[in-house]
């Protein structure tokens, strides 16, 4: 009997099929078909043994690659759109100047540098066009702020319009985004606004678009998927990295959705002490390995984590040690997110039929099948 292409087999069943076709039982597989885990690792923790590596090699034969190969480097082209209204009553200065908020271009420079550093030079974003609008984005129900209403609400810290969400269909049409993507001018869009502009942190548009920390916008009138990032120039780079981190979570969860239990390596990567005692990985964007609640990046408690071993992916070495908040900036948002992103695998080859360069899936929505 030959192994069935594309079928995931339990370890014992796979071992028996391999023996019947004359495949030797390698280290990591005993005569009874049980897995022998590497020294120092608990059974079931998901770290790959020689047997696991053999299975992945078979997967690479029986499961065809998912789309094109990862590029040596990624250079996504960005359209930067900044909603920064001119305030007539304040000497016709831009909103960001009136309220002494950040400059979107400076934020982008730092953000691009952080992603370049965190990806080991793999991702090099390039802003190919900048549009600064003297406009307030329209809401889904047709409402728009004007200068007086917005500034009055800001001073009073209340009165904000609901529903808050911006009308993305209107934005697509007003700036002709589908045509820009289809004509290969850009790969993604970064939109900057102000508090209560109504932007999602990230949203995917295009064929078979899926959840990207926001409801998908499936479209058949554009040839490929793209992501619209939503940023706020009242805040800093840390929240921008958080928005990107949630995008990563969405993309990788979708890429690994076909694998369950210990075979889902993404779910192993995001484990943390509170939900997986003694088996913490790298945690999530909101939860560091030792966090007790959302945004608890400054927790001083020490926990056991195998986060460093993800730097060896896919050739895990069984490395685990105790860690605390000093490892990721002692509560600093930007430092935590950069540290978390640095641990995303970026290696050659495939595991479970999925490329080991996870950054590719994180950045290119068309790589995720």
**Domain span at 24:** 1-64
Q: How many CB atoms lie within 10 A of CB 23?
A: 14
Strands 77-83 and 126-133: parallel
Mean pLDDT across 341-365: 97
- Phi then psi dihedrals of residue 209, to 5 deg: -60, 145
The pLDDT value recorded for residue 343 is 98
Whether 200 and 321 share a structural domain: no
Whether 215 and 281 share a structural domain: no
Q: How confident is the model at residue 54 (pLDDT cuts 50, 70, 90)?
A: low
Is the residue at 187 inside a domain?
yes
Is the residue at 114 inside a domain?
yes
Whether 264 and 239 share a structural domain: no
Compute, in degrees rounded to 10, the torsion defined by CA atoms 295, 297, 301, 302.
Answer: 130
Q: Which residue has the tokens 């009073």?
A: 156
Whether 6 and 94 share a structural domain: no
Whether 163 and 275 share a structural domain: no
Whether 165 and 184 share a structural domain: yes
Q: How confident is the model at residue 246 (pLDDT cuts 50, 70, 90)?
A: very high
The pLDDT value recorded for residue 59 is 53
Percent of the chain's residues with pLDDT above 90: 80
- Phi then psi dihedrals of residue 68, to 5 deg: -70, 160
In 3D, which of 153, 248, 256, 241 has the Cα closest to residue 197? 153
Is the residue at 325 inside a domain?
yes
Whether 282 and 317 share a structural domain: yes
The span from the CA of 347 to the CA of 265, in Å, is 14
Is the residue at 122 inside a domain?
yes
Residues in Cβ contact with 229 at an 8 Å cutoff, skipping those fewer than 6 apart? 188, 189, 190, 191, 201, 202, 240, 243, 244, 247
Is the residue at 360 inside a domain?
no
Whether 3 and 147 share a structural domain: no
Q: How many CB atoms lie within 10 A of CB 216?
A: 16
Whether 250 and 272 share a structural domain: no
Q: How confident is the model at residue 68 (pLDDT cuts 50, 70, 90)?
A: low
Q: What is the mean pLDDT of the chain?
A: 86
The pLDDT value recorded for residue 186 is 98
Is the residue at 358 inside a domain?
no
Q: What is the pLDDT of residues 309-342, one digit of tens each?
A: 999 999 999 999 999 999 999 999 999 999 999 9
Is the residue at 57 inside a domain?
yes
Whether 150 and 245 share a structural domain: yes
Q: How confident is the model at residue 2 (pLDDT cuts 50, 70, 90)?
A: very low
Count Cα atoms within 13 angstroms, Cβ side, for 238. Answer: 13
Size of the chain in residues: 369
Residues in Cβ contact with 8 at an 8 Å cutoff, skipping those fewer than 6 apart? 259, 263
The pLDDT value recorded for residue 258 is 97
Q: How many CB atoms lie within 10 A of CB 41?
A: 18
Which of 254, 289, 311 finishes a domain?
A: 254
Is the residue at 221 inside a domain?
yes
Whether 240 and 296 share a structural domain: no
The pLDDT value recorded for residue 69 is 79
Q: What is the pLDDT of residues 120-162, one digit of tens each?
A: 999 999 999 999 999 999 999 999 999 999 999 999 999 999 9
Instruction: Report the domain count for the chain.
Output: 3
In 3D, which of 250, 38, 24, 253 has the Cα closest to residue 46? 38
Which of 254, 273, 302 finishes a domain?
A: 254
Whether omega for the bond prior to residue 357 falls within 30 degrees of 0, making it cis, is no
The span from the CA of 67 to the CA of 79, in Å, is 25
pLDDT above 80 for 84:
yes
pLDDT above 50 for 298:
yes
Distances (CA, A) of 362 to 14, 50, 77, 355: 32, 28, 15, 12
Q: How confident is the model at residue 72 (pLDDT cuts 50, 70, 90)?
A: confident
The pLDDT value recorded for residue 52 is 54
Whether 238 and 185 share a structural domain: yes
pLDDT above 70 for 17:
no
């Amino acid at each position: 009997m030959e192994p069935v292409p594309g079928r995931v087999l339990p370890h014992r069943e796979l071992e028996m099929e391999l023996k019947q076709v004359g495949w030797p039982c390698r280290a990591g597989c005993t005569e009874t078909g049980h897995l022998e885990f590497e020294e120092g690792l608990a059974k079931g923790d998901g770290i790959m043994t020689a047997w696991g590596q053999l299975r992945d090699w078979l997967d690479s034969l029986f499961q065809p690659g998912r789309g094109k190969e990862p590029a040596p480097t990624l250079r996504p082209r960005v359209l930067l759109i900044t909603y920064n209204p001119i305030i007539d009553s304040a000497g016709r200065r831009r909103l960001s100047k009136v309220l002494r908020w950040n400059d979107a271009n400076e934020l982008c420079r730092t953000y691009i540098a952080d992603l370049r550093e965190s990806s080991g030079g793999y991702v090099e974003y390039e802003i190919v066009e900048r549009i600064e609008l003297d406009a307030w984005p329209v809401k889904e129900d047709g409402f728009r702020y004007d200068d007086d209403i917005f500034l009055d609400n800001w001073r009073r810290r209340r009165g904000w319009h609901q529903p808050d969400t911006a009308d993305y269909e209107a934005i697509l049409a007003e700036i002709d985004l589908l045509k820009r993507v289809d004509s290969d001018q850009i790969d993604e869009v970064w939109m900057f606004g102000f508090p209560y502009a109504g932007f999602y942190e990230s949203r995917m548009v295009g064929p078979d678009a899926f959840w990207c920390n926001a409801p998908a916008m499936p479209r058949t009138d554009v040839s490929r998927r793209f992501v619209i990032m939503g940023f706020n120039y009242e805040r800093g780079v840390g929240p921008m990295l958080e928005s990107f981190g949630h995008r990563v979570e969405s993309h990788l969860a979708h890429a690994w959705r076909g694998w369950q239990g210990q075979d889902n390596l993404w779910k192993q990567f995001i484990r943390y002490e509170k939900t997986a005692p003694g088996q913490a990985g790298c945690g999530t964007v909101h939860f560091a390995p030792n966090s007790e609640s959302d945004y608890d990046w400054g927790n001083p408690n020490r926990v056991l984590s195998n986060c460093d071993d993800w730097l060896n992916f896919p050739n895990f070495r069984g490395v685990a040690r105790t860690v605390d908040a000093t490892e990721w900036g002692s509560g600093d948002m930007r430092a935590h997110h950069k540290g978390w992103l640095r641990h995303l695998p970026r290696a050659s080859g495939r595991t479970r039929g999925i490329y080991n360069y996870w950054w590719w899936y994180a950045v290119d929505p068309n790589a995720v099948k």
